[in-house]
Each structure stands twice: as C-alpha cells, then as structure tokens.
Amino acid sequence: MTTSSHLDYDYDFVPPPDAPVFTPTMEEFKDSLAYFEKIRVIGEQYGICKIKPPDEWQPPFAVDVDKLRFTPRIQRLNELEAHTRIKLNFLDQVAKFWELQGSSLKIPIVEKRALDLFTLKKYVNKEGGLEFVNTEKRWGKVAAELGFNPLNSTKIGNLLKTHYERILYPLDVFEKEEGKKIKDEINIEEEISPKKEEGGRKGRMGASRMQHVEDDSKSFSKELARLQFFGAGPKLPGMPDNKSMKEKTRGVKLNFEYDPLAKYMCQNCGKGDAEEQMLLCDGCDDSYHTFCLMPPLAEIPQGDWRCPKCVLAEVSKPMEAFGFEQAQKEYTLQSFGEMADQFKSDYFNMPVHLIPMSLVEREYWRILDNIDEDVMVEYGADLHTMDHGSGFPTHGSKHLSADDLVYADSEWNLNNLPVVPNSILKQIDMDISGMKVPWLYVGMCFSTFCWHVEDHWTPSINFLHWGEPKTWYGIPAKYAEKAEAVMRESAKELFQSQPDLLHHIVTTMNPNVLQAHGVPVYRMDQYAGEFIITFPRGYHAGFNHGYNLAEAVNFAPPDWLEIGRKCVEHYSLMRRFCVFCHDELVCKMATHPESLTLQVAAICYKDMLTMVETEKVHRRALLEGGIKEAEREAFELLPEDERQCAICKTTCFISALTTINGRDDQEIVCLRHFSRMDVDPSNLILRYRYTLDELATLLQGLKVRAESYETWTSKVRAALEAKGEDRMEFVDLKKMYTEARDHKYPESELLEALQLTVEEADKCQMVAQQLCNNQGKVRTRLGADAKYRLTVEELQLFANQLETLPAKVSGHEGVTDLLDNVAKFQQQAARLLERDIVEVEEIEKCLEAGELLEIDLQEVNQLRAKSDQLTWLEEVKEFVEDPSEVTVEASKQLEAAGMSLQPHPNVERGLAKLKGLRLTLEGWEEKAAACLSAIPKLGLMEVERLVAEGESLSTALPTLEKLTEACRKAREWWARAEALQKPENYPYLDTLEALVGRGRPLPIRLDPLNQLETQVASARAWRERTARVFLKKNSHYNLLEVLSPRYEFDKDKKKKKRSNEDLSVRHPIFQGLSAVQLSDPQEIVNAFKQAEQNELVSMRDLRDKNLATERAEGNCMLDCELCREQFQPGSVPLPRTGPHKSRDRPNSLRDIKFLCPACLRSRRPRLETILSLLVSLQKLTVRLPEGEALQCLTERAMAWQDRARTVLATPELSAALAKLSISRGERGDGEDQEDETSDSDGDGPSSPRKRLGGEPGLVLTLAARTIVQLEDLMMEGDLLEVSLDEVAHIWRILQATPGRRDKKYPELDQLEAELVAAREERKKEKIKKRMQMTEQGSAEERERKKLRKKKKEEARRAEIAAADSDDDCSASSPKCRRPTGKQVHWVQCDRCELWYHLFCIGLKPHNIKEDEDFNCKNCVGKHGSTKRLPGKKPKQVERSESGSDMDTD
C-alpha cells in the first residue's frame, strides 16, 4: 500500500471548472419535476449540477445501521485508468513472452525510477522503429520525451537502447515473423480452397451474418457473465452465453500419423542434424534449432521453453474482460467506517478531518496515472434498497413519527421521485433495481465510480445522506460521442478487446486528457445533504473523499421520451441489451391516455407517431419483399431472452420476424434488418402485437387527450368574456375548472384566471345564499357576530359585483329584496328614535326586525342603546323601591351596568340613587365586620340591635347571616349556662368544659363565661393536686384508675401510659350507668361497692392461681405480698433498704415487705392527706369522677381501718403487738437521732414508718384461724391505695409466725453483690461486642451507635428512676438534694400547695407546728407575710421507704 512517503505534492493536475449550483426556495422545492424542467436548460450545458435543498428540509436517516451488512467490491486504483491499464497489459504480455522463453522479466531502473517499457516502445515506434532510431541516432530525443534529463540524454539514450534491444526487440522480431507466417498461410489457403456458391448460403436466415452476430453476442455475453456480479454494469444485464468458452491452447500440434520421425526434425529447416543445438518445446514437443529461431538463441535456456507457435498462441490470447472482484469480508456500517477512516488517516499520515480536499483529489489522479502505485480500496456500490433498506423514511419504516411522514411523502424522497405523476418511469410495472428502485453506495477514500452514462440515457439523482464529500466530473450530452471517440482513440488496445468497455463502468480517464482533446469537463463537490443531478447522456465519473453513504436512482421527465428512443437506436447499433422495452412502455401509456398528464400525453403522442410511421414503412417493405404470413403475438408474455433480436439485441414488442414452423426457442429479428437478410421470404413470418389500425386507434386516443386542452381553452375564453344574459351558469363554469384539474392541464394564465373567477363566484354565491337564508329566520352564531356583517354600502357594492361577474350565481334576486327591506327598516327606526316616550316592547320589536336582516346598520346600535337605557331604568326603580333582597355586590353590578350606558339625564339620576344606597350598605357591613373582630367583645343586646338594623336594610347581606347565627348560639349558650348554675344541678367537669369550649369562639360577650371558667380551673387544679399526691412519675395509670378498684388483672397485657388530661374515656365503673343514674350519688356509691367486691373476688382468684403455680424454692425469688406472684430480683426494682452503714438497715429479705409494680400502683398517701383533699373537694361546685372515687376510697379505707383495729384489739393479737412493742421500745431511744436521709421512693408499704421489730429470733404462735383472718385482712389492706399503720402491724405479726419465720430468705448483701456481678458481666459482654463492632465499622458509625446506646441507656435509667422514685420535691434554690434514709419528712405549702423535703428547705420536724399554716419561700416573697393562721394544721407528713405518707410521730 502506498504510504505518505510516496505522496507527490507537485503532481500537476488542473481541476476542471465547477458546474452550477442551484438553491431552490421551499415553494420551488415542492414540485420536483417542475424544478428540473426549470434548471434543465442550464444544467444540460454542464452534464451535471448540484441542488442544495432548503435549510428546513432535513430528512432523517432511516437505514437500520445495526442490521445493514454488505460485501464491497475491490478496486485497484492503477487498473482503473485506461492508459495505466494498457501499460499493465503490455507488461503482462512482455513478462509472459520471456517466461515462455525460459527467462524472467526484471524491469530496469533508470535514473532511480522504473523504466516505462510501454512508453519506450511507443516513442521508438513514433520515431520510425528501432532500426531508424539507431541509424539516425535519436535515442537522446527518445530519452528527452520520456522525461529524463536532457543534459544527460546521450548517456541515458544508450541505456535505453540497450534495454530495448535486450527486452523489447526479441518480442518485436517474434511478432513480425509470426505475423508474416500467418499472412502467408492465409494467402495459400485462399488460393487452394474452392469458392462457395452463393446459393449455398441460404440454409438459415443470413448464416454468415448470423454467425458473425453469434460470435459477437458470445463475446459480449462472456463479458456480461463475468461482470453481472462483480462489475458495475447495466441494471438488468442480458442473459449470459452458456456455451463453453474457447479452451486455452499452448500451441497447435502437428499430425504425425504418416511420418513418426517428423517430430524430431527442426520445424523451420526440416533437418535433424546438430542435435546438441536442438530445442524441444515443453508445450507441444516440437523441435527447433537454436540458430533457426528468429531471433537466434545464443545458448540453451535454463528453464521451460516454448516454441514460437506456443508463444504466439499464448501471447495472442484475447485479454479477459476487466471487472471488479468481490471482497471476501462482510462489513457492517460501523466496521466499514472504522476501516475507511483508518485507511485514510494512515495513508496521509494525519487526522482525517485535517486532510484538505484538494490534496485528496490531486493524490487520487496521481495514483491513477502511476503504474507503480498499488493502492487497493473497497467500495460498497449498488446495494439494493429492497434488501438493505432506503436511507429515506418510507411508510413501511419502523418507528415512523409524524415528522417523518412529511419526508416519506416528499417528491425528493428517491423512493418517490421515479413514480411522481409526471414521471415516465411510473408507467413501468416492474421494479427495476437501481433505475426505479434506489441503490445505496457506501464509500471510502479513493473509491471510484468510472465514466459512464445512465441506462437508456435517463437522468439520475444522487443524494449524500452523510459522511465525507464526493467529487463529481461531468461531460455535457452534446460532447458524449466526442468523449467516446477520445477514449477509444486514447485506449485502442482496451477497446479492441472490449468494444463495449464503457458500458461496464470499470474504466476512467483523467479529465485533463479529455480536456486536452477538446472535450469540456466540469467538476462538483457534493457534501452531505446535497443532491447531484446528471442529465441525459451526460458522461459522469468521480470518487469519494472518505467514509460516506449515498443513495441514487434514475427518473424520467416527460421530455425524456424522445431521448430514450434515440438511446434504443444507439443500443441497437452497439448490440447492447435493453433494460426495458421502449415501444412497450409507449404502447402501455397509449392504452390508458386518461391517466396521463397533459404534458406526458402530448410528448407520448409525438413519440408514438414516430414509432407508428416507422412501423408502417417496415411493414410495407415486408409486403413488397414477399412476406405474406403474419400472426399476433403477445410479446409482453414472453421471457426477455425469447423476444430479443438475434442481430441487434433490441427487445421486440410491436413486431418481429421469424421462420415459419420454427422451434419454440427459435430466434427473432427486428423488421429493420429484413433488407439486409439473405433469406427466402416465403420461410419468414411476421409476428405483431398490434395491427396498424389498432396502433392508429391508440394514437388517436393520445391525440384526443393531448388536444383536449385546446378545446378547453377556447370554451374558457368565451365564458370569461361573456356579458349580461350571455353569461354562463356558475355550475357549468365550475365544471370546466374541475375538468382542468382532473385532466391535469398545465398551469397557465387562463387557468389561473378561471380559478380566480370560480373562487370569486363561489364566495359571492355563498354570501348571497347566506344573506337570503337569514331572512325571517332565527339569528345564527355567525350572524350574531357583527364583524361578519355587511354594511349597507358593502351590500350595495356586492349587488353591483353580482351584476358584473362572468357567471350567474344563485341568490342574486334575494340580495335585491334585502336592499328593499333595509330601506324600510331605516325609515321605521328613524321614527322611533325621534320620540322621547316610547315603549320598550315597541323598540325591541323593531330591533329584532333589524337584526334579522344580518346587515351592519347604524340604526340597530342606536335602538339597542335606547332599549338598554329603558331596561336599566326599570331595574333601578325596582331596586330602590324594594331593596330588602339586594347586596352591595348587586348594587355595584347595577351601577357598573349604568356606567356602561350612553349618557342620559335619567340614567345619571338613577346612578345617584344607587350610589347612596350602596354607601349605606357598605357602612353597615363595616360596622358588622368590626363587631365580629371587636376586642373586648360587644354585649348581646348591642349585637342584636346591629342585626335589627341590618335586617331593615336587606336580608341578603353576607355578614348579617353570621351575626344572626352568633346571636342565636349566644342565647342558647346562656340558657344552658343558667340551667347548669341552678342549685339542683351539679354538673360534671366535662359538661362544663364542653360548654366553655362552645362559648369562647362566639364573637359576643357572655357574662357567665368567666364564672364557669373559674369553676373549671378550680376543678382542674384540684385534680392535678390529687394526681401529684397519688400518681407516680411516668405512671401508665391515670388518676381515676388509681382511685377506683382494679378491673384488670392480666399482668401480661402491656399498658400504655395515658395523660392525666385524657379523661374522655370513661372508667368501666361509670360506663354501665345511664345519665339519670350518674346524677344520683347513691347509684355511684353502689357501683363502687360492686366494683370493690369484684376486685376482692378477682384478687383471691389470682392469689390462688399464683400459689397453685410451682414455686421456685431453691432460687432466690421475690414474693409479692398481694398477688403472691414470684419475681426474679433482677426483673423488678428491689425495695429501698437505706444506706449500707445504717444500723436499721435490714440484713435479709425477711425484713422487707415486697409489692410488685402491678400491685403498687400509686404513692399511697396517708389517710390524713386524703382527708385534706376531700375538704378541698367539698368547696367545688363541679362534680368530678375522681372526687367521687376518692370519697369511696376514703370510706373503704376508714371502714377497713375500723375492722383492722377491732381485730388487733383481741387479746391474742394485743399480746403479739406487745411483744413487738417491747422489742421496739428497747431500741426506741435512738429513733429521734435518726438522720433524715431515707429515700422517699419506696416500692410500697413494706417498711412501716415506725420500725416494729423485736428480737431476731422472736416467733409468735397464733391460731390458724387468726393467721387466715390476718392474711385476708392484710390482702384487703394492700388493695387500698392508702398508707395505714394497721397494714404494717399485721405484716410484722405475720412475719413473726412460724410459717413465715421458717422460710429462708437470702442475705441482702449477697443478693446485691450477685446482681452487681451480673450487671458487670453484661457490661463486659457489651464492651466486647462494641469492640468487635469497632473493628468492623467506621469511626463515624461507631460514634453514632455509641450515641444511640447512650441515649437509650439514659432513657432506661430515667425510666427505672421514675419507677423507683416518686419524689417531686419543689425546692428550686437550692435544688432538691434527694435525701435518702429510712424516713424522709415532707411539708406542704398552704398557699401554693407544693410539697417540699424538710431537709431541702433547712427545717427539722420539730420546727413545724400542727396548729399553724406553713408558707414556702416563694409565697412569702409574693405576699410579704409569714404569719400562720391559728386553727389550721400544717400539712407536714413523712414518707417512709415505701413511699407511704405518715405522721412524723
């Protein structure tokens, strides 16, 4: 492959001048053939031209690039150019000659370049031959003509002489001698051969001529057979000759039948001597002396040797027809593009986009003219779009969008152009690939299309879809024959072996060579998105600058028919096959003349007339020549090869000659060959498709169609010039216009005038009919629109226009009547407008009559204005007289309507009245709006007065309805409030809250509302105070549940924490009571009594169930004293036991009473605290469910306390208490010295305030009945949410009984140590797990997890602390110090009712006196007095470890 080092930038190629470029407008671009006709006169002068479509015409590329696969043709560039191929053929001949002589040819190098042997021989022959050049010593001149340095011509001339004599002269001598021998043999044969008589030639029709034709057709068919797949040849090649080709021969052997020794004799001298110098041919075994050969051989050749006869036979073989061979590799568009870009980039050694086009063009022709360059490219040419798809969108394309439809229907779509209405190819039924159906061309750099004209000399169009440009060269049609002559003369050797070489599109020639011989050549660069047009018989060629894809097709405008007939005659002379039958095409169009356009019919008539006249002449010659037989033949039904002329290869259709009673496959000939045929006419028969009469009929049909235009024009001119009553009816005139369109008459000024007349008459008739139809009918939507109406002046002009139209239209009389009605209306309207007093009905009646005229009348507008004024004044009168139902908006609308009327005194007065009324309404609306948003709110009486004022103005005021509704709700609320304030009514809190909630949003001041809000606030304050006394922090029980008997004993059921304010859900005790029962206190008490009994029964069942469960004796378990359920020490909080160093701290669980969290629901205050709450409750005027529950709880607690004291007062239990008291008395001296450090967050009454102890081993022996009675009594006491000393006394007694004394309890220190160890173990496991996660996770993730765990741990600790601690000390400065110890003393402020640790406020129990009030620091600062009121005890209590409230003493 040639590389960049071979580039000759000084190669002298002069680009031809450019062909014209046309840029049509979008309007011109619509009709493709019309635009071709417009530019044809200019384009034919150049042979080619370029069309640049409008910028907005951008067709999409429709080929499926992924599925397109093709096999390109291989092109060797130095074989394409005619002169270069001649040189290559000559070199092949010289090399073959020396190869047969036993030597190999080596091309000499002279002046560092290969010697051009062909040119050397050419110039030597030009100078007179070798002998003359040697004699005249002209080798220097030959060297100069070959382009060598003239200063060194003598030396170079001697080298050329040596090389010529060594290489070329033996071939010259051989050809000269063998040619002389052949000529002598021919002369001898002619002398001894007898002459044949003339009659012997009449065996078949024109035997010798037919034999010559057969030889030519055989040679021609051989070329086609080779080129139909590999060459670019014609679109529909003829049938290849299947006869065997001549076998290659290596010489003619002699017949040794009579003389066996003859083969050992020299074939030149006939002697057999000098055997050592005898050569034996390796081809035919003939013998020759070396000195008998011409030229003689000096020595025996080393390799194979052929005799002169074998050499002559081999060298004289005709050259095989040249064509492009097919590549072996199949490409996709992508792979071919990659290959093409790589080739170009490597060849020029620079990026593809930087290579100038001028360099590519100059290098292209340099390669073609250089025999040493061996550049091979590939060209994907002639790809059928039926197989690979078209680049233009079609209706069969996939994913066709609405925008693509425009291009699918465009005439410039190459799939549509051959079949547009005015195209001749449209009349051909079959799809001719490449001619009627487009071909695709995928090119690369240097890929070539050689000089050729299109089949049947049709024009062609090529569109470059995308890629790099193409360069085209074109020759005008009038220089086509001269171009062919120049090519034949310049390349005689090629045309001698291939006379039809130009038909195969495999040979090109440098444009500069053609220009030098007087043939004008023009060039054009085609870029993507541009069309190239080639004109009829315009030779064109070109090459590609790089990777691109183009699409091409032929088309045939009407004026091509004449050129097409000349082409068929030329094909007949050249004996070339036709792609389609021209006569058949013309006859087919003649059979359907009505389907042809006028232009096509006229041109077809002219062409067919020529055809018919020629046919008449030929048939007359047959008749005169003696041919009598004839029969009809449907040539269109015969295969193509059976209806081709045996002489000229033309496809026959009108008629043909053949022999009588011949075979089915017999040959036929055209009628034109009859005069030169040497055949007996009696053996011939005429086969015809149409008779002459039938042809005349067809011709007449075309004539009528072509001349119908003249008849039509005369009628139209007469119709357009007619006046008055001679005018034609509009219907008839319109028929003439329709005829022109149906018959596709050409565009002309007459047709345009007729079109304008028809359009104008049509509009006038439509307007006239519309005007007539509207008379007396209801107005249409169109008629109601004033912009579509005519004025009186326009109506008069329209009537005059109807008189002057060239046609009579219907509705003319109606227009005249309309003018009369308009005049009558104008008179009546003038009378009404002059009167001051007139009825609206009368005006409306006249107005309706005027509007029905559908004419733009000034009187109509004046009447309408007066009617609107009268109507508005009536509305204002009704509005002012009865404004009860009007609003401000209605007043504004009516006022705006008045402002739009024409000025009039009555209208102005009405507007003044409306404005006054509107201002009054707006003033009331402002007062009402201020009332709704007033702060403070207005009283009910004031609002009602405002409402009465608004009702007197209008009942439809928007704000009036709001105020009326507010007054109604306020009265209802007031009545309800007064009813609830009566002494006999004692409402619940939720009833009052609902009433207060309804009263607050009302925009009216309600006097009882403040009193009700005070009552509600007092009740809520009491409930919150009670909740602080009873409820633990974060407790999931509400206050009512704690105060009421238990109703749920399912400990597995998780209870959600409910807010204390969530009182909308009634307690189950109250849910079964009606409204009447709820108002009866006795019913409430009974419901509580029943709930208490149910609680006792359920608790006993639960205790029995838990006791029946298998007890874990071996394990350390906590037993709940109430429900008897066992718990793991780690699963529930342990009871507080005080500091480790305290002397009163118990050592074992035996000394601690344990109640589980489910049984210990509240703080369990002392009874004295509850009594103070009940005193506050009595002051409230509102019923509270919690208050009633607290009363029932107190009564129940006091009843139980009485029973317990009675039981404890028995002798047996008194003695037991005495023993315990003695034990206590022994330790009593140190009690007063105890520090107030005990924790108040106990878990229940497990540790009484007073430590009832005894000797550690003290055992009380009681009766079994007494123990059972005490157990049952203690169970009832534990159910109470009240701290009572009697419960602790009973528990201490029971703990001293043998049954409990014998029970083993773990040591507290050991248990706590085990729990601490377990916690540490779990902590270590967590740390270990955290370390593992640290190794796996990122630092950021570890921080997030650590933070989440920390928050979770703090929340858990807060929950445990809340569960373990019920401390709510209100000390703030300093903050609560959370005292711990066995006993913690509390005191309550009598003003703010907050609780404080005595330790936190710096007091001791003896500082608090029961007969004086206690005020905290905050209350003292606010009220400025610390005086205690006599007669009141301070609320000073002491809480034990269990959280129970007890007296200090």
Of the chain, the percentage scoring pLDDT greater than 70 comes to 76
Q: How confident is the model at residue 1053, as a pLDDT?
A: 46
Q: How confident is the model at residue 758, as a pLDDT?
A: 85
Answer for the pair 590, 698: CB distance below 8 angstroms, yes or no. yes
46 pLDDT more than 90: yes
Other beta carbons within 10 angstroms of residue 1141's beta carbon come to 6
1340 pLDDT more than 50: yes
Q: How confident is the model at residue 351, as a pLDDT?
A: 92
Q: How confident is the model at residue 244, as a pLDDT?
A: 37
795 pLDDT more than 80: no
What is the rounded CA–CA span in Å between residue 456 and residue 569? Answer: 10
Task: Give the residue with greater pLDDT, 402 vs 527.
Answer: 527
Residue type, 64: D
Mean pLDDT of 292-321: 66
Q: How confident is the model at residue 60, as a pLDDT?
A: 92
Task: Give the residue with greater pLDDT, 1260 vs 1050.
Answer: 1260
503 pLDDT more than 60: no
Residue type, 113: R
50 pLDDT more than 90: yes
Strand partners, 668: 645
pTM for the whole structure: 0.48
| pLDDT single digits (tens) 223-236 | 333 333 333 444 44
Q: Which of 155-169, 458-472, 1013-1027, 1110-1124 has the lowest mean pLDDT?
A: 1110-1124
Q: What is the dihedral of CA 119, 120, 123, 127, to 10 degrees?
A: -170
360 pLDDT more than 80: yes
Which structure tokens are listed for 1193? 């709880």
Question: Residue 78 has what DSSP assignment?
Answer: G
925 pLDDT more than 90: no
Sorted by sequence, the CB contacts under 8 Å of residue 455 that are 6+ apart come out as: 234, 235, 435, 554, 579
What is the rounded CA–CA span in Å between residue 116 and residue 122? Answer: 10
Q: How confident is the model at residue 1248, as a pLDDT?
A: 38
Task: Give the residue with greater pLDDT, 509 vs 59.
Answer: 59
Task: Give the residue with greater pLDDT, 327 vs 1139.
Answer: 327
Q: How confident is the model at residue 1335, as a pLDDT?
A: 65
Q: Which of 148-152, 368-372, 871-875, 1066-1070 has the lowest mean pLDDT?
A: 1066-1070
Task: Give the residue with greater pLDDT, 545 vs 1180.
Answer: 545
Task: Give the residue with greater pLDDT, 1423 vs 1188.
Answer: 1188
Mean pLDDT of 166-182: 70
Question: Residue 25 has what DSSP assignment?
Answer: -
Helix axes 1264-1279, 1285-1295, angle to 10 degrees: 140
Q: What is the dihedral of CA 5, 6, 10, 12, to 10 degrees?
A: -160
DSSP 1147-1163: SBGGG-----TTT--S-
Q: Which of 214-228, 512-526, 1360-1374 has the lowest mean pLDDT?
A: 214-228
Sheet holding 655-659, edge to edge: 629-632, 684-688, 655-659
Task: Give the residue with greater pLDDT, 1215 vs 1366.
Answer: 1215
Buried b (16+ CB within 10 A) or exposed e, 314-332: bbeeeeebbbbeebeeebe
| pLDDT single digits (tens) 887-899 | 777 777 777 777 8
| Alpha-carbon separation of residue 1138 from 42, 55, 704, 1080, 1420 (angstroms) | 123, 101, 134, 48, 34
Other beta carbons within 10 angstroms of residue 930's beta carbon come to 11
Sorted by sequence, the CB contacts under 8 Å of residue 1055 that are 6+ apart come out as: 1036, 1037
Q: Among 777-786, 804-813, 960-969, 1234-1243, which range has the highest average pLDDT?
A: 960-969
Q: How confident is the model at residue 524, as a pLDDT?
A: 95
749 pLDDT more than 50: yes
Which of 348, 357, 336 has its CA nearest to residue 375? Answer: 348
Answer for the pair 291, 232: CB distance below 8 angstroms, yes or no. no
Q: How confident is the model at residue 1229, as a pLDDT?
A: 37
Q: How confident is the model at residue 785, as a pLDDT?
A: 53
Answer for the pair 1170, 1282: CB distance below 8 angstroms, yes or no. yes
Q: How confident is the model at residue 662, as a pLDDT?
A: 58
Helix axes 888-899, 858-881, angle to 10 degrees: 150
Task: Give the residue with greater pLDDT, 177 vs 780.
Answer: 177
What's the whole-number average pLDDT of the chain? 76
Q: How confident is the model at residue 184, as a pLDDT?
A: 62
Task: Give the residue with greater pLDDT, 101 vs 536.
Answer: 536
Q: Which of 41-55, 101-115, 662-676, 1086-1100 has the lowest mean pLDDT?
A: 101-115
831 pLDDT more than 50: yes
Which of 391, 428, 427 has its CA nearest to residue 408? Answer: 391
| pLDDT single digits (tens) 563-619 | 999 999 998 888 888 888 999 999 998 998 888 887 888 889 899 999 999 999 999
**Coil, strand, or helix at residue 1386?**
strand
Strand partners, 1071: none
Task: Give the residue with greater pLDDT, 601 vs 816.
Answer: 601
**Coil, strand, or helix at residue 1005?**
coil
Helix axes 1081-1108, 1264-1279, angle to 10 degrees: 120
Q: How confident is the model at residue 985, as a pLDDT?
A: 73
Q: How confident is the model at residue 543, as a pLDDT?
A: 95
Q: How confident is the model at residue 477, as a pLDDT?
A: 93
